[in-house]
Amino acid sequence: MRTVSNFPIGAAMRFLPFSDDPELQRLQKHHFDSYTAGNDMKMYNIMPKEGVFDFSVTDAILEYTQENDQRLFGHNLIWHSSTPPWVKEKARENPDWLSSFMKSYISTYVGRYRSFVHGWDVVNEGLRTKGSGYREDSIWYEVLGSRYIEQAFFYAHEADPQAVLFYNDFNIERDLEKFNFMIDMVEDFIERGVPISGIGFQMHIRMDTPNGVIASTLQRAAATGLQIHLSEVDIIFNRHDDTRGGGLQIRTSLTPEMEKAQAQKYYDLAMIYRSVVPSDQQYGITLWGFNDRDTWIRPFFGIQDWPTIYDERLQPKPAFFGLLNGLR
């Protein structure tokens, strides 16, 4: 797959058990030239306790990507859901501490991998789940207000001026209120010189997400001139409310007709990206896991689904060939 695309094709992996699965490694090396860590590079793993950084897994990932000539993408620096409990507790006890901690954390982390990590999701999911507005159930917003987002970009840019810096979020391809709020925020950043380089569309989409809406939002985002990353792609048949355990099981088995339709949807998504995002702004397409055996959808939402391009036996589905043809 990597050989037919004009831009990087990535997969998000959990290094364990990935590093102990030869077949998964073979497929990843063959098809992908960009690596995103599923959870390994998030704050609760990088700094599980105060004053203690654990870079062991990230160092191993870096070694793997360098050995296999792959781009390493950093996911992520600041995210409410990956903030360790000890950070939240200390921030509420001493609000003035949180800003200095964020600067120190980003400076140390990004600085360690300066020139090795190509790009970062600097802030992930800083907006409300639905509609316009900032995510208020975040310790970062609660203590620092909305300015924490731009501050994080300044700290990351200072630590690595060459890194490509993204704001990353979900549902912005179809929730137009959320999308418009995000675009207003990004354009304000650009106007005021906040060092943002790109917009990450997670692109956890459903089969019934309208192609026209996806094309429109991607085209509008590309009009900012920033890099556009489809950063966490999978395509589900069922539904959910974006909360843990909030899945709605509509389809209970995968039929050949469903597989054919999913292949078309993967094809359409690749074609939309190629057609509406200028080539010099195409940061790439990253799949959030590439096989149904390891998909996050099933355990998180509590539903059976088949959202990826490989099945549970690590065999390519029609979706694989749909994406491949779309990339061609």
Give me the active site residues, please.
125, 232
For residue 27, give every residue at least 6 positions away whose Cβ sits within 8 Å of its Cβ, in sequence order, or none: 290, 310, 314
CA distance 269 to 235: 10
Return d(Cα 296, Cα 309) in angstroms, integer.
14
Q: Which run of H or of E encompasses 304?
A: none
Nearest-5° angle of CA 1, CA 210, CA 265? 25
Q: How far apart are CA 268 and CA 322, in angstroms?
A: 8
Which residues are bridge partners to 227 per DSSP? 198
Distance CA 216, CA 201 (A): 13
Residue 79 has, within 13 A of its CA and on its CB side, a CA count of 23
